[in-house]
């Protein structure tokens, strides 16, 4: 393990190595970069939807089957730890990546 003063650099290098392994790993590790990119948009390229609850980290790894008590199954977002009120276009763009 790195010394406390070296922890940030060590963790950043570990994250970057994981992200380089596959497109899926890149999307999983680049949430901050994704929202920096969105914040830099002048508003002309992204549709603006009503502010609603969005996943905030929408990608295929966070979609999956959910069943109700009647036995009905649907595909829904299963990972909600980064949910925020925001533009629904953000989730669609991230999912498209």
What is the pLDDT, as a whole number, of residue 78?
84
* Spatial distance between the Cα atoms of 44 and 19, rounded to a whole number of angstroms: 29
DSSP, residue by residue, the chain = ---GGGHHHHHHHHHHHHHTT-HHHHHHH-HHHHHHHHHH--SSSS-----EEE-SS-SGGGEEEEE-TTS-EEEEE---TT-EEE-HHHHHHHHH-
pTM reported for the whole predicted model? 0.59
What is the pLDDT, as a whole number, of residue 9?
92
Spans of all domains in the chain: 4-96
pLDDT, tens digit, for every residue of 3-14? Answer: 989 999 998 888
């Amino acid at each position: 393990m790195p010394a406390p003063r070296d922890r940030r650099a060590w963790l950043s290098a570990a994250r970057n190595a994981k992200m380089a392994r596959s497109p899926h790993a890149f999307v999983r590790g680049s949430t901050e970069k994704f929202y920096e990119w969105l914040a830099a948009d002048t508003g002309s390229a992204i549709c603006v939807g009503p502010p609603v609850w969005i996943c905030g980290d929408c990608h295929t790894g966070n979609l999956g089957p959910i069943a109700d008590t009647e036995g009905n199954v649907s595909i829904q977002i299963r990972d909600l730890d980064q949910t925020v009120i925001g533009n629904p276009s953000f989730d669609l763009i991230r999912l498209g990546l």
